[in-house]
Amino acid sequence: MRGLIDITDFSVEEIDSLIDVANDIIDNPKKYSEKCKGKKLATLFFEPSTRTRLSFEAAMYELGGNVIGFSEASSSSSTKGESVADTAKVISCYADIIAMRHPKEGSAYVAMKNATIPVINAGDGGHCHPTQTLADLLTIYREKGSFDNLTVGLCGDLKFGRTVHSLIGALSRYSGIKFVLISPEELKLPSYVKNDVLKKNNLPYIQTTSLEDVIGELDVLYMTRVQRERFFNEEDYLRLKDSYILDLKKLSLAKDNLSVMHPLPRVNEISVAVDNDPRACYFKQVLYGKYMRMALILKLLEEAEK
Ligand code: NCD
C-alpha cells in the first residue's frame, strides 16, 4: 500500500499537484469540507509533537473526517513490548490512514510494510520528516513563485535535523539550487545525505560555520533547533545549543526578499524581535503545513480506493 515515507517517494509532478490542491483548498475550503466524510485518520505519536500531530488532526477534521490515536508512547501497547509491525497491522483494522511519528529511524517504513492502509511518516528519529517538507515547499512556492535558481541556507543542527534532510532531498530535484550548509563542526550534514543527494546529483554546496559570512547571499534561510533529544550527553548539547541566534543585527546583512523559515519549535535560534520583520515566514509555514497535509490525505485515500 502506497504511503509517504521519504519525500522522494513522490515525483516532482506529484508534489506540484499537491501544491495545486493545497492552493485550491486555501481559495475554496468549502469544496473540501466533506471529502473525507466517514474516514478515520489514526495518529500514532511515539514522540512529542505539537504542530505535526495537531495539524494532521485539523487537516482531517477540515476534510470532514474523524481522528483516533495516541500522543505518547507511554499510553500505547509499545510499553508492553508490542512491535511497530504489529501495531500497524492492528491499526489497519480500525482506521483508513495512519500518520506515525517514532524515535527510531526506519520505523515508518516498517509500519508501511505491515499496514494494509496508507502510512504517512510524521518523523522517524533523525532520519526524515516528509510532511514538514511539504509545508516548507508550499511556503517557498508562495513566497518565491518557483523553486528554481534559489540559494538556500540551512542553519543549525544539520546532523540530527530530519526536516533538513528531507528538504534537501526535495529541493535537489529542481534546477539551479545552491545549498549553503551552516553548522558547527559536530553538527554537519550526515555523509549519507551529502553523498547520496548532493554529490550524486552534482549539486553545488558550501559548508561554513559562520552565518554572518553568508547571510547576504541567501534567498531562503532555514533555521533549526539543536535536537537535544538525539544527543548522547547533555554537556555537548549545552555547549552547542546557542551556536546560532538570528537577531535583527544579523538580519540587517540579508537581502530584502530573504525568506526566514523554521520548522518550529523554536528555542533560541531566532530572536522574538525578528517575528515582526516581513521576512519572517515561520508562522505562515505552520498554516501551510495543514493545507499540504489535507492535500496529502486526499491523495493517499483516493489512491487506496483504486
Ligand atoms: C520538527 C521535528 O519534529 O523534526 N518539528 C516539527 O515537526 N515541526 C523540528 C524539531 O523538532 O526541531
State how far the Cα of 51 lies from the Cα of 150, in Å rounded to an integer.
Answer: 27
How far is 202 from 101, CA to CA, in rounded Å? Answer: 32
The grid coordinates of residue 34 equal 466533506
Q: What is the mean pLDDT of residues 230-248?
A: 95
The closest alpha carbon to 29, from 305, 299, 294, belongs to 294
Per-residue model confidence (pLDDT) at position 79: 85
pLDDT of 195: 96
163 lines ligand 1 (CB under 6 A): yes
Which one is catalytic: 102, 129, 194, 241? 129
Residue 190 predicted with pLDDT over 90: yes
**CA 43 to centroid of ligand 1, rounded, Å:** 16
- Residue 97, SS3 per DSSP: strand
First to last CA, the chain: 11
Q: Using the mean position of ligand 1's atoms as its centre, give its distance from the Cα of residue 305 in Å.
A: 31
Q: Note the pLDDT tens digit of each residue in 73-108.
A: 888 888 888 999 999 999 999 999 999 999 999 999
Using left for φ > 0, alpha for ψ between -120 and 50, and beta otherwise, residue 176 falls in: left
Residue 235 grid cell: 554537556
Q: What is the largest CA-CA distance in the chain?
A: 55
What's residue 74's pLDDT? Answer: 86
* Overall average pLDDT of the 137-147 stretch: 97
pTM tops 0.75: yes
List beta partners, residue 1.
none
pLDDT > 90? residue 221? yes
d(CA 40, CA 138): 25
Cis peptide before 130 (omega within 30 of 0): no
- pLDDT of res. 94: 98
For 284, the 3-state DSSP assignment is helix
Mean pLDDT over 165-194 rounds to 97
Q: Considering the chain, what is the average pLDDT of its residues?
A: 97
The pLDDT of residue 260 = 98
